Structure 1
Amino acid sequence: MVHLSTYFSLENAGDPHDEKLLKRGLDALPGVTSVSLSERGCVAVDYDSTGVRQEQIRQKVQELGYQLRSED
């Protein structure tokens, strides 16, 4: 079992409603252990790599309606 963390910067997130929605959606993925959102729209996800992959987390964030900020 390998515990990892991943971080995404989101274009359209940062308020308490967004945090609740992201937590509810991402907690449904097997292996996700923690979800937090900063006021600046950065989401941090701790997960067990035997249950979920980073790409699955990224995809779920987008399915929930959030745009990833491009890394220019």
Structure 2
Amino acid sequence: MAHLSTYFSLENARDKHDEKLLKQGLDMLPGVTSVSLSGRGCVAVDYDSSGVCQEQIRQKVQELGYQLREED
């Protein structure tokens, strides 16, 4: 059981409303322990790898309607 963190940059997430929606949606995944959103659209997710993997988190973020920003 490993405790990991993953980070995403989102095109369309900026405010407390987005943070609430992301937290509610991601908290439904088994193993997610913490979700936070910065003002610049960066999401940090802490999770337990025995319950969920990074790809599942990425897919859930997209299912919630948020677009991942492509990194250069």
* TM-score normalised per structure 2: 0.99
Residues 1-72 of structure 1: pairs in structure 2 closer than 5 A: 1-72=1-72
Gaps of 5+ in 2: none
- 5+ long unaligned stretches in structure 1: none
Q: Deviations over 1:11-65 (max 9, x none)?
A: 0001000000000000000000000000000000000000000000000000000
State how many pairs are aligned: 72
- Structure 1 consecutive aligned stretches of length 4 or more whose deviation exceeds 3 Å: none
Q: Distance in 2 between matches of 1:27 and 1:14?
A: 19
Aligned residue identity for 1:62: Q
Share of identical aligned residues, percent? 88
